């Protein structure tokens, strides 16, 4: 893997573990020569992961809409900063620049970005790994919901299995490097 998109909060959250996880992921990525692609902000967990990558000599690429640059949220120390017009362009470029996706703790935007990437994998638009960094059990309720969605017939188990879940950055990056998406895309075969 050359680069990974990291989706995460523009806030740091209430627990120190969230920031520690972002910092650890950034350090681990830099140590393994994996570049960061992220939303380009200097605040919250977004700023923490970028600061860590930069501090450890790694590549940090930001993709940020013009409206957020104008609010002075853009990180000033990145390897590259791509300024785009819309959030749609942001996500498309982040996907294009990345070999996989990780969601750290975050809110609605983080979930939206990760679920779009996972949906694209489910539909067979890409075969890149999609991952949750489940720091301090943050994503436990979401994981329980997704399992219920499988039980209720709204998600196929093979598509849920595409989502890699770890709490340790080294284990997560190792699983991503070995990832093979063997799941048959939705709407193929006998499925209707």
Q: State the CATH number of the domain containing residue 30.
A: 3.40.50.450
144 in a domain, yes or no? yes
187 in a domain, yes or no? no
184 in a domain, yes or no? no
Question: Whose CA is closest to 64, among 100, 94, 95, 105?
Answer: 94
Can you tell me the distance from the alpha carbon of 172 to that of 130, in angstroms, rounded to the nearest whole number?
10
186 in a domain, yes or no? no
Domains contained in the chain, number: 1
Model confidence, pTM: 0.93
Residue 187 confidence (pLDDT): 56
Give me the average pLDDT of each 10-residue run along the chain (192 residues): 96 97 98 97 96 98 92 91 96 97 97 96 92 98 98 94 95 92 60 46
Find the domain containing 74 and state its range: 3-177
84 in a domain, yes or no? yes
99 in a domain, yes or no? yes
Question: Whose CA is closest to 129, among 5, 19, 12, 30?
Answer: 5
182 in a domain, yes or no? no
Residue 16 confidence (pLDDT): 97
Residue 190 confidence (pLDDT): 47
Residue 188 confidence (pLDDT): 54
164 in a domain, yes or no? yes
């Amino acid at each position: 893997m050359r680069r990974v998109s990291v989706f995460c909060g523009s806030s740091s959250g209430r627990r120190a573990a969230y920031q520690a996880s972002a910092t650890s992921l950034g350090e681990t990525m830099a140590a393994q020569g994996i570049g960061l692609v992220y939303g380009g902000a200097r605040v919250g967990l977004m700023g923490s992961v970028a600061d860590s990558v930069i501090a450890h000599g790694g590549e940090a690429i930001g993709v940020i809409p013009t409206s957020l640059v104008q609010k002075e949220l853009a990180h000033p120390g990145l390897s590259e900063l791509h300024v785009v017009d819309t959030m749609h362009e942001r996500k498309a470029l982040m996907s294009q620049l990345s070999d996989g996706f990780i969601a750290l703790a975050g809110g609605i935007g983080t979930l939206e970005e990760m679920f779009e990437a996972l949906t694209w994998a489910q539909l067979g638009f890409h075969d890149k790994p999609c991952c949750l960094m489940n720091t301090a059990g943050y994503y436990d309720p979401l994981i329980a919901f997704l399992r219920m969605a499988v039980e209720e017939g709204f998600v196929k188990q093979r598509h849920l299995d595409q989502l890699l879940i770890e709490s340790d950055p080294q284990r997560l990056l190792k699983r991503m490097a070995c990832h093979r998406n063997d799941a048959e895309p939705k709407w193929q075969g006998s499925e209707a």
